[in-house]
Amino acid sequence: MGKTVTTYLINGDPKGTRYVFIGSDIFRMYVIPRTKLEILNEEKYLKFSRPALYILLGENEDTKPKAYIGQTENFRERVKTHDNKKDFWNKVLLFISTSDAALTSSSIKYLEYCAIRDAKKTDNYVLNENKQVPKEPILPEHQKAPIDDFYQDVKFLTSFYGCTIFDNTGSSKVKLFYTKGRGCDAKGIYNDEGFTVLKSSILAETTVPSFKWASKREKLLSNFAQKRPDGKYILLADKTFSSPSTAADFCIGSCNNGWLLWKDKDGNTLDSVIRKHLKI
């Protein structure tokens, strides 16, 4: 079933502050760069003083991204503390209601519980400042149902923005591909973002002398993997690359044609499984 997602660029800048909503404009996700926090001082955005869920994001393609999930009854005041005391973040995703009564103190604590719980399960982001999953607040059933619906919107809009903090790519419903080049034993999936190497994949210890991005690979290994006693690395979290070949290069430590090296359980190459369906 289709969805209508509306994005409004507040200052007309595609990289600036925006808000996004699904269908009717009941709940919004604001995307606010750290450099644009002055929007909080504008009179028409005084609603940022309402209860809200938020995610601070610090993203770098060379390292595992970091996030902090929080809730507040007054984001305009709360973010001032984070701006002064937390260095890692460069954007915030703010989830807020357009109605004064839609979100309460109890409901945003429940949203925070759900968000931290699921983000820790996927383990796609470093959450070292959210040390524990908070205790689940007890909500009456008639209050919990609409908040659960809102939380589904939170996850959808977060993924729509391109943040994978809640995305569980290791689903058994997707088709898996494997490679064992240079002693690695990796598995992954082909998706709209590129190719995702899945958690627990075993990666080659070394790179060949001709490998052009060895230093970047070492940095990625230090952030996403752990060295085993046998010298090989085990991937601690899913990692998405822009292409199957880049994903294969990372796993094997040499330059490869990922369309040919990634194979399903029956030995069919990614090229024959995916590209053959795209031919006109």
Beta carbons of 68 and 94 less than 8 angstroms apart: no
Helix (H) or strand (E) holding 188: strand 186-191
Q: What is the pLDDT of residues 91-121, one digit of tens each?
A: 999 999 887 667 888 999 999 999 999 999 8
Residues 113 and 17: their CA atoms lie apart, in Å, by 26
Q: For residue 116, what pLDDT is reported?
A: 97
Q: Kindly give the confidence (pLDDT) of every residue in the chain, 280 residues in length, as a single tens digit, with 9 standing for 90 and above.
A: 678 899 999 989 988 999 999 987 888 999 999 999 988 888 777 677 888 999 999 976 667 789 999 999 989 889 999 999 999 999 999 999 887 667 888 999 999 999 999 999 888 898 999 988 889 988 888 888 889 989 999 999 999 998 989 987 654 457 899 999 899 999 999 987 889 999 999 999 999 999 999 999 999 999 889 999 999 999 988 888 999 999 999 999 999 999 999 999 999 999 998 866 554 4
Phi-psi map region of 207: left, alpha, beta (phi>0 left; psi -120 to 50 alpha): beta
Q: For residue 280, what pLDDT is reported?
A: 40
3-state secondary structure of 22: strand
Closest alpha carbon to 190 in 279, 267, 262, 268: 262
Q: For residue 172, what pLDDT is reported?
A: 46
Backbone angles phi, psi at 139, to 5 degrees: -115, 145
The three-state (H, E, C) secondary structure of 40-66, written as one string: HHCHHHHHHHCCEEEEEEECCCCCCCE
* Ranges of H-type helices in the chain: 75-85, 105-122, 141-161, 214-224, 244-252, 258-261, 270-274
Give, to the nearest 10 degrees, the angle between helix 141-161 and helix 105-122. 50
3-state secondary structure of 83: helix
Backbone angles phi, psi at 178, to 5 degrees: -130, 155
Residues 129 and 234: their CA atoms lie apart, in Å, by 24
Q: Residue type for 259, please?
A: W
Q: For residue 59, what pLDDT is reported?
A: 76
Q: For residue 29, what pLDDT is reported?
A: 95
Q: For residue 31, what pLDDT is reported?
A: 96
